[in-house]
Amino acid sequence: MFLFTNFLSVAKLANNDYVGFTFFVGSMAMMAAAAFFFLSMNSFDKKWRTSILVSGLITFIAAVHYWYMREYWASNAESPTFFRYVDWVLTVPLMCVEFFLILKVAGAKKSLMWRLIFLSVVMLVTGYFGEAVDRDNASIWGLASGIAYFVIVYDIWLGKAKKLAEAAGGSVLAAHKTLCWFVLVGWAIYPLGYMAGTPGWYDGLNGMFNMDIIYNIGDAVNKIGFGLVVYNLAVQSSEK
Ligand SMILES: *C/C=C(C)/C=C/C=C(C)/C=C/C1=C(C)CCCC1(C)C
């Protein structure tokens, strides 16, 4: 119903509203990606279907949130911080689940999945506090969030997840490596956006970047990219 009324009365987007533009394009890209993953799901061997389903869910959840964020931005000219974090707290744990799902062939245990999910929730909840609740201490919340982020990076690059990927070898190892790069480089975009949008010792970054544009680019790259890595892995293993 809400979605429907949004279609009927659309707020105006100015030509030079780049933030609004990235919300709009983000919304369309996520919808297209979700449709792609859902529709391709059944062409794969059973053991890959859950992974592709999760790729579809990640982009679908983001598409719905982007639709709301686009409208929120257009009518309030204000960062939709709340929707942003609700989106992340649903989709980032699902991205952690993707690691578990592809490593299951090497015997990954649920405890690995829960550990990564827990760390990602800590990372996001502390980030939300810094951005929305206690902005005066944004740099401290950001540091706490950053520590959780580094533990995730450690786990997948050097910890247990890496050992499982090596045990699996072949295309699973290659896909795991690519996902690791997404987390190390693609996810590192977010702290930059955070620093551009909150007060702290890094105030010099404030005028240089726009927080929402950084987050929007990061989301498109990471969510669709993650999904495509998993898709590619499923294609490769089904060919054999
Ligand atoms: C699809 C959404 C994704 C992949 C979101 C990822 C978000 C992060 C990796 C956020 C990380 C943050 C820090 C490491 C420190 C500052 C606060 C955050 C939450 C922006």
The CA 8 to ligand 1 mean position distance, Å, reads 33
In the predicted model, what is the mean pLDDT of residues 14-41?
Answer: 94
Cβ neighbors of 124 (< 8 A, separation 6 or more) are: 85, 88, 89, 92, 145
| pLDDT tens-digit map of 206-230 | 778 899 999 999 999 999 999 999 9
Per-residue pLDDT at 9: 63
In the predicted model, what is the mean pLDDT of residues 67-82?
Answer: 94
Q: Looking at the predicted structure, is the pLDDT value of residue 137 above 80?
A: yes
Neighbours of 163 (CB within 10 A): 12
In the chain, pLDDT over 90 holds for what percent of residues?
Answer: 85
Q: Looking at the predicted structure, is the pLDDT value of residue 1 above 90?
A: no
In the predicted model, what is the mean pLDDT of residues 83-110?
Answer: 96
Q: How far apart are CA 94 and CA 56, in angstroms?
A: 11
Q: Looking at the predicted structure, is the pLDDT value of residue 199 above 70?
A: yes
Tokens of 160: 């247990």
Q: Looking at the predicted structure, is the pLDDT value of residue 154 above 60?
A: yes
DSSP three-state, residue 216: helix
Q: Which of 79, 81, 89, 123 to mutate for ligand 1's pocket (most ligand atoms within 8 Å of CB)?
A: 123
Confidence of residue 7 (pLDDT cuts 50, 70, 90): low
Q: Which is the closest atom of ligand 1 to the Cα of 88?
A: 2
In the predicted model, what is the mean pLDDT of residues 72-80?
Answer: 93
Query: pLDDT: is 153 or 5 the higher one?
Result: 153
Which whole-number Å values give the CA distances from 21 to 18, 61, 83, in the listed order? Answer: 5, 19, 17
Q: Which of 69, 83, 91, 124 to mutate for ligand 1's pocket (most ligand atoms within 8 Å of CB)?
A: 124
Give domain 17-239's CATH superfamily.
Rhodopsin 7-helix transmembrane proteins (1.20.1070.10)
Q: Which is the closest atom of ligand 1 to the Cα of 143?
A: 15
Confidence of residue 5 (pLDDT cuts 50, 70, 90): low
In the predicted model, what is the mean pLDDT of residues 54-73?
Answer: 97
Per-residue pLDDT at 3: 57
The CA 108 to ligand 1 mean position distance, Å, reads 25
Plot region of 107 (φ>0 → left; ψ -120 to 50 → alpha; else → beta) = left
Per-residue pLDDT at 16: 84
Kindly report the protein residue whose alpha carbon is nearest to atom 6 of ligand 1: 187
The CA 158 to ligand 1 mean position distance, Å, reads 20
What's the pTM value of the predicted model, to 2 decimals? 0.93
Kindly report the protein residue whose alpha carbon is nearest to atom 14 of ligand 1: 146
The CA 123 to ligand 1 mean position distance, Å, reads 7
Q: Which is the closest atom of ligand 1 to the Cα of 193?
A: 20
Confidence of residue 84 (pLDDT cuts 50, 70, 90): very high
pLDDT, averaged across the chain: 93
For the chain, domain boundaries: 17-239
Per-residue pLDDT at 209: 83
